[in-house]
Amino acid sequence: MAGHSESHVHPVSLYTRTLWWLMALLVLTVAAGFIPNVPNWLGVVIALTIAVWKATIVIMNFMHVRFSGKLAWLFAGAGFFWLLIMLAFAFADYVSRPWEPFHGWPE
Amino acid sequence: MATATYTGTEKPNYLNWKTTVASWLLTYDHKRIAILYLVSISIFFLLGGLAAAFIRLDLATPKGDLLTSDIYNKMFTTHGVIMIFLFLIPSIPAVFGNFLLPLMIGARDVAFPRLNLLSWYFFMAGALLVLIALFRGGIDTGWTFYTPYSSSFAKGEVSLAIVGVFLAGFASIFTGINFLVTIHKMRAPGMTWFRLPLFVWAMYATSLIQVLGTPVVAITLLLVAVERTFRIGIFDPNLGGDPILYQHLFWFYSHPAVYIMILPAMGVISEVLSAFSKRRVFGYHFVAFSSLAIAIIGFLVWGHHMFSTGQSMYAGIVFSFLTWIVAIPSAIKIFNWMATIWKGRVHWDTPMLYALGFMGLFVIGGLTGLHLAAMATNVHLTDTYFIVAHFHYVMVGGAIMGYLAALHFWWPKMTGRMYPEGWGKLAAMLVFVGFNLTFFPQFILGYMGMPRRYHSYPEEWAVLNVLSTAGSSVLGFGYLLPVIYLTWSLKYGKVVTERNPWGARGLEWELVDPVPDPHNFERIPIVTRPAYDYAHPEEPTGFVPKPRPVVVGGKDG
């Protein structure tokens, strides 16, 4: 297939390394949940950062995007961009709910 | 190879070269998988239609004498879930996309034939779970599964239905992935992007939505099941969740899902209008790019379903504006189609009648959508019968008219038999008249304030409701007719002997035989002409290269 790496066979070590990374990040996620006095927003940031990290490892190694052509990168990127659209528009609703067009609105 | 197993006397085609049940259930042939989908979704269409008949019969009297309110709630949920997830979403993509895409681009099959068959099995497994849920007491959440009702209060097998929809969703994702890769990688030599039939462009745009949107609704519905089963607070405020979050996630997919239903129908309409006007589609590039524009902008408008939920006014303004924008590419299509017919040699065959019906009904559905995009009118009209009428004009008047146009247009190619044209025209007329009689009164009822999802109503709305029920009986008859005469035609219909009975352009009409060979093309064609080249009817779209001569002797001999 055009744009794909010449060899379709990848060493088993690639997958075992992926597995260990995911396990380590799982432990990190749980451990982060036990850190005392972390503000809620920071907890969310930490959890989402680790989640994105895990997803990137899976997409790159397990789904072979690392070894693929530009088209595969484009579609993988589009997936992330669409996620960003969903999060941005949905959060925009939550953020802008308290905004008042003028003082005292809507009473 | 086909010839290795075929022992009949007729020339082998994809229908007759193997006839065992296993040869159908284990097939990797995109055309046979299309037929599997066609049979399955036809059954689901009849079941969903039966539920609709009960709804309309109940609404024939103001007190709703036929059903109790509980049964009524279950009936409209049954209708919605079956029609949307088991009929409309797979309808044109899984049947005609599967059958036509490889033929139209000059390929032997889709990129991943096994994934294609797996898609049908996922769909059937999902459908089975949904049907079990519906027949084991039913569910009354509506097809939207709104929380917290669905996750905390509704009785019945809601989780089972959700798992069913989840599986059917993955079938849709598999189809989308397959089509994207097929279109990118398997086009015949010379089949450039701007020589592709517009149906292929529409399927490409649809596949983008299937791949980018469906995972979101699949996981969202699974979260409902998780909340319902394990009482983990995600959407229920009593558990610390947020019900509006559910609506954001649900509509992020479910609004674009409308375009999964309508974009393929638009692709069909481009093909049919062009074939029956004998003209190239006017503004080909605009029509092609408008499909992509609808797919992309369609992802930015979901908040118009939530104007009256407590969503931020500012978010509402943005969603309202973007919803107005998405009307533009739809309008581009309509104007270009009208220009295509203009001064064309119009043939009034059944597919053309459905295509013209599509245009009229879709315009009404689209324009009433603008009323709902405006926040001020939306607040008045939301959750009324105006909404019901609007989305039926788009999803039934649009998508099903397109589906029926496709079914009649490609029926001779799919079956090798011609349907009875007179009956076809009669059915098209009945569907158009019955549809308008059913749903136009609902615009007025909604404007007058009749809420949806109630099984009784005040006496003053009785006349319009009786009109609507009477219309639905005409519509139901109009839908039953094709089921009868198309089934009849499989055995008694006129055998099609010419490969291109409509005189249409496109590789699928230039195959050697009337019904395609199991492998589509003996040799992959080389495309030399643009799509819809009706100005040069004597020139084929592509030519089949001659086999290379076998050299005997020499140093390799």
pLDDT tens digits, A11-46 = 899 999 999 999 999 999 999 989 888 888 898 899
Q: What is the dihedral angle through the alpha carbons of B335, B340, B343, B346, rounded to the nearest 10 degrees?
A: -120
Q: What gap in Å lies between CA B237 and CA B112, rounded to an integer?
A: 44
Q: Which residues of B271-286 are buried (b: 16+ CB within 10 A; e: fewer)?
A: bbbbbbbbbbbbbbee
Pairing type for strands B526-527 and B542-543 reads: antiparallel
Q: Determine contact: B414 vs chain A, CB below 8 A.
A: no
Summarize pLDDT for B148-161 with one digit per residue, the tens: 999 999 999 999 99
Cβ atoms within 10 Å, residue B475: 25
State how far the alpha carbon of B435 is from the alpha carbons of B303, B408, B430, B441, B472, in Å: 29, 19, 8, 11, 7
Interacting residues of B557 by C-beta distance below 8 A, sequence separation 6+: B551
Nearest residue, CB atoms, A92 vs list B212, B216, B315: B315
Nearest residue, CB atoms, A78 vs list B212, B244, B318: B212
User: To the nearest whole angstrom, how far is the Cα of A103 from the nearest Cα of chain B?
Assistant: 15
Q: Determine contact: B375 vs chain A, CB below 8 A.
A: no
pLDDT at A102: 75
Nearest CA in chain B to A86: B252
State how far the alpha carbon of B541 is from the alpha carbons of A46, B63, B197, B253, B514, in Å: 57, 61, 11, 37, 17
CA B179 to the chain's CA centroid: 15
Nearest residue, CB atoms, A93 vs list B212, B248, B249: B248
Q: What gap in Å lies between CA B52 and CA B75, rounded to an integer?
A: 8
Give me the amino acid identity at B485.
Y
For tokens 């745009």, name the residue.
B205
Phi, psi of B418 (to 5 degrees): -100, 140
Residue B212: how many CA atoms within 13 Å on its side-chain side? 30
B154 and B141 in contact (C-beta within 8 Å)?
yes
- The helix (H) or strand (E) run that includes residue B542 is strand B542-543
Q: Determine contact: A2 vs chain B, CB below 8 A.
A: yes
- The three-state secondary structure class of B453 is coil
Q: Determine contact: B252 vs chain A, CB below 8 A.
A: yes
Question: Mutate which of B186, B252, B301, B305 to test chain A, going by most A C-beta atoms within 10 A?
Answer: B252
Angle at B112 between CA A77 and CA B264, to 5 degrees: 70
Q: Determine contact: B245 vs chain A, CB below 8 A.
A: yes
CATH code: domain B29-543 is 1.20.210.10
- Cβ distance B252 to A1 less than 8 Å, yes or no, reads no
Cβ atoms within 10 Å, residue B26: 11
Q: Determine contact: B315 vs chain A, CB below 8 A.
A: yes
- Cβ distance A2 to B185 less than 8 Å, yes or no, reads yes
- Cβ distance B212 to A79 less than 8 Å, yes or no, reads yes
Give me the amino acid identity at A4.
H
Nearest CA in chain B to A95: B312
Which chain A residues are closer than 8 Å to B300 by Cβ? 85, 89
pLDDT at A107: 54
Q: What gap in Å lies between CA B257 and CA B211, rounded to an integer?
A: 11
pLDDT in 10s for each residue of chain B, 557 residues:
334 455 556 778 999 988 899 999 999 999 999 999 999 999 999 999 999 999 999 999 999 999 999 999 999 999 999 999 999 999 999 999 999 999 999 999 999 999 999 999 999 999 999 999 998 999 999 999 999 999 999 999 999 999 999 999 999 999 999 999 999 999 999 999 999 999 999 999 999 999 999 999 999 999 999 999 999 999 999 999 999 999 999 999 999 999 999 999 999 999 999 999 999 999 999 999 999 999 999 999 999 999 999 999 999 999 999 999 999 999 999 999 999 999 899 999 999 999 999 999 999 999 999 999 999 999 999 999 999 999 999 999 999 999 999 999 999 999 999 999 999 999 999 999 999 999 999 999 999 999 999 999 999 999 999 999 999 999 999 999 999 999 999 999 999 988 899 999 999 998 888 889 888 988 899 999 999 999 888 888 777 777 666 666 544 43
Q: What gap in Å lies between CA A41 and CA A29, rounded to an integer?
A: 15
Interacting residues of B332 by C-beta distance below 8 A, sequence separation 6+: B283, B286, B287, B290
Q: Where are the alpha helices (DSSP H) in B194-341?
A: 198-230, 243-277, 284-297, 313-341
Phi, psi of B64 (to 5 degrees): 60, 65
B266 and B230 in contact (C-beta within 8 Å)?
no
CA B217 to the chain's CA centroid: 18
pLDDT tier for residue A1 given thresholds of 50, 70 and 90: very low
B287 and B215 in contact (C-beta within 8 Å)?
no
A66 and A60 in contact (C-beta within 8 Å)?
yes
User: To the nearest whole angstrom, how far is the Cα of B28 from the nearest Cα of chain A?
Assistant: 21
Instruction: Provide the token pair at B239.
Output: 């558990």
Q: What is the DSSP string of B299-347?
A: GG-GGGG-TTTT--HHHHHHHHHHHHHHHHHHHHHHHHHHHHHTTS---
The more confidently predicted of residues B431 and A10 is B431
Using a 10 angstrom Cβ sphere, with 0-12 exposed, 13-18 middle and 19 or more buried, the burial of residue A25 is middle
> Is the bond preceding B237 in cis, omega lying within 30 degrees of 0?
no
pLDDT at B541: 77
B360 and B402 in contact (C-beta within 8 Å)?
no
Task: List the beta bridge partners of residue B451.
Answer: B384
Task: List the beta bridge partners of residue B494.
Answer: B418
The DSSP letter of residue B92 is I
Cβ atoms within 10 Å, residue B231: 12
User: What mean pLDDT, rounded, does chain A reach?
Assistant: 87
For tokens 């509980």, name the residue.
B70
pLDDT at B549: 64
Using a 10 angstrom Cβ sphere, with 0-12 exposed, 13-18 middle and 19 or more buried, the burial of residue B190 is middle
Task: List the beta bridge partners of residue B517.
Answer: B520
Nearest residue, CB atoms, A90 vs list B184, B248, B313: B248
- Cβ distance A99 to B314 less than 8 Å, yes or no, reads yes
> The pTM is what?
0.92
The DSSP letter of residue B417 is E
User: To the nearest whole angstrom, how far is the Cα of A53 from the nearest Cα of chain B?
Assistant: 19
pLDDT tier for residue A98 given thresholds of 50, 70 and 90: confident
User: To the nearest whole angstrom, how far is the Cα of B252 from the nearest Cα of chain A?
Assistant: 7
Q: What gap in Å lies between CA B92 and CA B38, rounded to an integer?
A: 9
Domain spans, chain B: 29-543
Domain spans, chain A: 11-63, 69-96
Q: What gap in Å lies between CA B425 and CA B431, rounded to an integer?
A: 10
pLDDT at B536: 86
Question: Mutate which of A40, A75, A93 to test chain B, going by most B C-beta atoms within 10 A?
Answer: A93
pLDDT at B119: 98
- Cβ distance A85 to B300 less than 8 Å, yes or no, reads yes
pLDDT at B100: 97
